[in-house]
Structure 1
Amino acid sequence: MWFLFPLLAGACIWYNYESLEWKTVAFNGLFILFLLASLTVYISFRKKELTAIWKGFFSWGDILFIIAVTPLFETVQYIYFFTFGTILTLMIHLLFARGEGRKTIPYAGYLSLVSVAYLIFTEQINHFFLFLNGSR
Structure 2
Amino acid sequence: MPVLKLLILLILLMLVYQDFKYRMVYAVLFPVLCILFVWHRWLDQESFSVIFSQCAAALLFLGAQLALLTLYFSFRFRRWTPVSGKLLAWGDILLLAAIGCYLSFLNYVLFYLLSAVATLLCWMIAQAWRKKPAAGVPLAGFQALFFAMAFIYSWVHPSFSLQDERWMYQLTGQ
TM-score normalised according to structure 1 size? 0.88
Inter-partner Cα distance in structure 1 for 2:70 and 2:55? 22
Note the 1:1-136 alignment, pairs <5 A.
1-17=26-42, 18-19=45-46, 20-98=50-128, 99=130, 100-122=132-154, 123=160, 129-130=168-169, 134=172, 136=174
CA gap of 1:35–1:45, structure 2 versus 1, over 3 A, is same
| Cα shift readout 1:71-112 (whole Å, capped 9, x = no counterpart) | 211111110010011111112222333324123100000000
TM-score normalised according to structure 2 size? 0.70
Structure 1 residue 121, shift from structure 2 partner: 1.7
**Percent identity of equivalent pairs:** 24
Q: Secondary structure at the match of 1:16?
A: helix
The gaps in structure 2 that reach 5 residues or longer are: 1-25, 155-159
Inter-partner Cα distance in structure 2 for 1:67 and 1:84? 16
Q: Secondary structure at the match of 1:103?
A: coil
CA gap of 1:130–1:97, structure 2 versus 1, over 3 A, is farther
Inter-partner Cα distance in structure 2 for 1:129 and 1:112? 22
The gaps in structure 1 that reach 5 residues or longer are: none
One-letter amino acid of the counterpart of residue 67, structure 1: A
Looking at CA atoms only, which structure, 1 or 2, has the larger radius of gyration?
A: 2
